[in-house]
Structure 1
Amino acid sequence: MWKERLRFPFYVIVHPFKGFWDLKYDKKGNWIVAMAIVFLVSLAAMFQYQYAGFIVNYNSPYSFNSMIQLRNVILPFFLWCVANWSLTTLMDGEGKFKEIVVSSAYALLPIFLLFVPATIYSRFITLEETAFYYYLNGFAVIWFLFLIFVSTMTIHQYTAFKTIVTICLTAVCMGFIVFLGMLFFSLVQQMYSFFFTIYKELQFRG
């Protein structure tokens, strides 16, 4: 049972149309496997940030923060899922939130599969061989974007054009959610400062 669940994401990234169809209608997706993939992609991003060869790595090793690196993958992932679900409910999308989360996580798998060997490769290359490193990373991102396109189209039963429009609007919606979140926390901070000032003033007068 679990062997089949672990093998299924690899089937999806090679046969995306059939794979995402099976994920939606045959219920072959799995929450635990999906979250494991997101976590592995986070580790791959951290691995590349910290251990890529000095020829291609311009990051300071002293600025590394594992929590920030985790946030850079996990936060955008869930922002995408929430924004996509919120938007597609208004655009007659057939995908459920769980299906969006699982399919999006499965689409991330090529990033893990290619970022790790690219990082290892970068530690043994010369300046003339860096093109292949960037090719591997670029191919991983293109593969991921293609899988996101197919998953969105299949999960929500959209046409190709509507899928492209939905992906673009989802990106805009993600930015809007971030803006509202920053606005909310700024408002909370100002309210806290206001009430704390009043409290200190009353304490001083008392």
Structure 2
Amino acid sequence: MQYVKTLKYVFHVIFRPFDGFWDLKREHRGSLPAAWTFVVLTIITLTVEKQNTGFLFNFNRLENVNVVVDIVTVLLLYILWCVANWCLTSLMDGEGKLRDIMIATGYALFPIVLIRLPLVFFSHLITASEGSFYYMFGMISYLWAGILLLLGTMVTHQYTFKKTLLTCICTMIGMGIILFIGLLFFSVIQQMITFAETIYKEVRFR
């Protein structure tokens, strides 16, 4: 089954990123459904981690954990990164399409699932004195994913390392700008609706 093959290919991507990301784009060894699957798995991993990590390493109050907020946060960051990166690279002679960026980004997240999900189980077996290993592997998961995201951007757009680094920094700035504009637009719409409701009520009761 093609979908299963594209899922399995993630192991080639994370261990041989240059070949892997090249094949994702040029040889179509990946797919959007597989990339979205890894995004969903990342959401599940981070949610399970918040709720089920051993008490020695879990500083979250269960009553304050909001699954919906966690889901929206990951999805929003994923979408913002892809859109901001696509907008920016379109102006910087990038070779990747929006589809390519979404696939590469989804595959780059897999180390978070691969490492942090088993860590939830091991957090119940280790002691506080062994916590340094827990935190070390947790940090490795994010560092690994970050490196893959960097390399994925470089291979997808055929950039030099320096240009890739600059692009990633500008992409994060772009994410902030898009988020700000979105919140501003939402605020204006909300005020317009409130104003319209006020006018309607005044006209209705006269």
Per the normalisation by structure 2, the TM-score is 0.97
Aligned to 1:65: 66
Aligned to 2:18: 17
> Counterparts in 2 of 1:103-114, with a 5 A limit?
103-114=104-115
> Counterparts in 2 of 1:37-186, with a 5 A limit?
37-186=38-187
Aligned partner of residue 54 in structure 2, secondary structure? coil
| Contact 2:49/2:117 (<8 A) preserved | yes
User: Residue type of the partner of 2:10?
Assistant: P
Counterparts of 1:21 and 1:137 in 2: how far apart (Å)?
28
Aligned partner of residue 89 in structure 1, secondary structure? helix
Deviation at 1:75, TM superposition (A): 1.0
Counterparts of 2:203 and 2:187 in 1: how far apart (Å)?
24
| Structure 1 residue runs of 4 or more that deviate by more than 6 Å after TM superposition | none
Number of aligned positions between the proteins: 205
CA RMSD for the aligned pairs?
Answer: 0.9
Aligned to 1:35: 36
| Contact 2:94/2:158 (<8 A) preserved | yes
Q: Deviations over 1:28-49 (max 9, x none)?
A: 1111111111000100000101
Counterparts of 1:116 and 1:89 in 2: how far apart (Å)?
36
Unpaired runs of 5+ residues, structure 2, are none
User: Residue type of the partner of 1:107?
Assistant: A
Counterparts of 2:104 and 2:87 in 1: how far apart (Å)?
16
User: Residue type of the partner of 2:193?
Assistant: Y
Counterparts of 2:22 and 2:129 in 1: how far apart (Å)?
43
Deviation at 1:67, TM superposition (A): 1.1
Unpaired runs of 5+ residues, structure 1, are none
Deviation at 1:68, TM superposition (A): 1.0
Deviation at 1:27, TM superposition (A): 1.4
| Contact 2:116/2:141 (<8 A) preserved | yes
Q: Which deviates more from structure 2 when the two are superposed, residues 62-71 or residues 40-49?
A: 62-71
Q: Deviations over 1:122-180 (max 9, x none)?
A: 12221111111111110001100110111000000000000000000000000001100
Deviation at 1:4, TM superposition (A): 2.4
Counterparts of 1:140 and 1:71 in 2: how far apart (Å)?
21
Counterparts of 2:54 and 2:116 in 1: how far apart (Å)?
13
Deviation at 1:7, TM superposition (A): 1.4
Counterparts of 1:4 and 1:190 in 2: how far apart (Å)?
49
Counterparts of 1:74 and 1:190 in 2: how far apart (Å)?
26
Counterparts of 1:178 and 1:88 in 2: how far apart (Å)?
18
Q: Deviations over 1:92-133 (max 9, x none)?
A: 100011000001000000000101111111122211111111
User: Residue type of the partner of 1:187?
Assistant: V
Counterparts of 1:170 and 1:94 in 2: how far apart (Å)?
16
